[in-house]
Structure 1
Amino acid sequence: MPVRDQAQGRAQDRAQDQAEDRTKERWIAHIEAARADLARSSTAARVAGMLREQIIDGLLRPGERLSEQQLHQLTNVSRNTLREAFRMLVEERLLVHEFNRGVFVRHVTPEDVVDLYRVRRILECEGVRAAPTAPPEALARLEAAVSRGERAAEQGRWSEVGAADIRFHEAVGGLVGSPRVNEMLYRTLTELRLSFHEMVSAREFHEPYLRRNRLLTELILGGDVRAAERELRAYLDDAEAQLLEAYRAAGPARKG
């Protein structure tokens, strides 16, 4: 390899390392900011909820080690409470406990992606079909989520675009009006969010779906349920295929 190419490769590696360090600093800063709130309500469920939100926001990435000692110091939450929160998230397939190594954010597998999209088709398509009877506030959440993603894209905040996309699809499922559907879809989308990190470029992945989110919203608000469901199914097929291709391109290192 030419010396110039080697130098460029090293520079790119350093830039990637620096970007990952900044991401890690962001999620730690968010936890520190929530410390006072946690002190008032130091329950495992709240800690687990906080970590889920960090995953949705793209701040906790697959392979990230969650240090019990560090979180204990940052939050003043007892170690037993932290362990219970970790246990909850392991059961939800968001974290994994490795013997003698600790707790890590889980790598979602290609098989997981296929199953997650299977669940999404069931829940989100039912949301589209329920749109004609959905209350105005549920429909308004679609527009709010799309607008949030568009604003984040204008400012080049692509991780936030990914989070807004999750909120948009939560809103689609929310048209059903079922707390149980909301909970199932929230957990499904949180787990799926981890797979987004397989994409080389967050912008290239998310940008086309901003336009499709806008189109889907217009179809739903316009009352064209059949066209909206067709668009949603095509959308989910395309996104699933794109993610699976990213796994194939990454090779066997991302199989587990």
Structure 2
Amino acid sequence: MGTTEPRAGGLADGRALLGRTSTAERVADILRTRIAEGFFPPGERLSEDSIGKALGVSRNTLREAFRLLTHERLLVHELNRGVFVRVLAVEDVEDIYRTRQLVECAVVQRLGKPPYALDELDAAVAGGERAARERDWKGVSTANIHFHRELVALAGSPRTDELMRSVLAELRLAFHVVDDPRGLHQPYLVRNREILETLRAGRREEARTLLDAYLDDSRAQLVLTYATLVTDPD
């Protein structure tokens, strides 16, 4: 059998790239968070100069971060124009919900025997209810996203967690176009609580049915509102 030593020696030139990639991933994390928060709204052009100066990173590092986020479908590169926060099409929103139903309902369907580890799910529900009492509707939106991420986390699958992180980050691009976070998210607080309590009681199949209907209703509501906004933004 051969040895890997000669080929391994050829990796020395990759050390600089490794460091840059690590920095680029951290920059991508920062930008992903700002996009999720709506700091950079859909359709906004991202300035390499201003962002690079603000973060103290090189143009190459920033471009690598942009590439990572473009791969996640959060950004789009337009030739001779630059990099923009992506504006979802209605078909994108519908596809995101198809993915959510396939993943989230399957996770609940395949849960083992109760009791389930529901502490984080409970915290997400309580956080949403607390934000609603404080009339913090963006906080309600964040708590709802947390609820669905923790629901999927019950599967104990890092790959599924990563998939949902990407899907839900993309979904928030649509949320930021709809300027009514209260109307969009408040009605689902009671349904989050209902799903949580159904799982706490060990009624997995009933929870799956509730979740399926929840996602159907959420999709229909968002698509109806979003379609009006992206086709007639005035």
Residue 228 of structure 1 is matched in structure 2 by 207
Are residues 135 and 45 of structure 1, via their aligned partners in 2, closer, same or farther at CA, if it must alter by over 3 Å? farther
Aligned residues: 213
Q: Does 1:148 align with 2:123?
A: no
C-alpha displacement of 1:43: 0.8
- Match for residue 87 of structure 2 among 107, 114, 132: 107
Residue 102 of structure 2 is matched in structure 1 by 122
Secondary structure class of the residue paired with 1:107: coil
**Deviation by residue 1:7-43 (Cα, 9 ceiling, x = unmatched):** xxxxxxxxxxxxxxxxxxxxxxxxxxxxxxxxxx961
Are residues 203 and 188 of structure 1, via their aligned partners in 2, closer, same or farther at CA, if it must alter by over 3 Å? same
TM score, norm. by length of structure 2: 0.84
Contact 1:57 1:160 in 2 (8 A): no
C-alpha displacement of 1:200: 3.5
- Match for residue 228 of structure 2 among 208, 232, 249: 249
Residue 60 of structure 1 is matched in structure 2 by 40
CA distance, structure 2, for counterparts of residue 134 and residue 109 of structure 1 = 40
The one-letter code matched in structure 1 to 2:207 is A
Residue 140 of structure 2 is matched in structure 1 by 161
C-alpha displacement of 1:99: 2.3
Secondary structure class of the residue paired with 1:59: coil
TM score, norm. by length of structure 1: 0.77
Q: Does 1:48 align with 2:28?
A: yes
Contact 1:152 1:158 in 2 (8 A): yes
Contact 2:131 2:140 in 1 (8 A): yes
C-alpha displacement of 1:77: 1.2
- Match for residue 149 of structure 2 among 165, 170, 174: 170
CA distance, structure 2, for counterparts of residue 193 and residue 42 of structure 1 = 25
Are residues 106 and 196 of structure 1, via their aligned partners in 2, closer, same or farther at CA, if it must alter by over 3 Å? same
Residue 66 of structure 2 is matched in structure 1 by 86
Structure that is richer in helix per residue? 1
Gaps of 5+ in 1: 1-40
Secondary structure class of the residue paired with 2:103: helix
C-alpha displacement of 1:188: 0.6
CA distance, structure 1, for counterparts of residue 78 and residue 199 of structure 2 = 45
CA distance, structure 1, for counterparts of residue 152 and residue 146 of structure 2 = 10
Identity %, equivalent residues: 49
The one-letter code matched in structure 1 to 2:77 is H
Residue 22 of structure 1 is matched in structure 2 by none
The one-letter code matched in structure 1 to 2:165 is Y
Secondary structure class of the residue paired with 2:77: strand
Residue 203 of structure 1 is matched in structure 2 by 182
The one-letter code matched in structure 1 to 2:61 is T
C-alpha displacement of 1:131: 3.7
- Match for residue 184 of structure 1 among 155, 159, 163: 163
**Deviation by residue 1:153-208 (Cα, 9 ceiling, x = unmatched):** 22222112111111110111111111111111110111011111232411111110
RMSD: 2.0
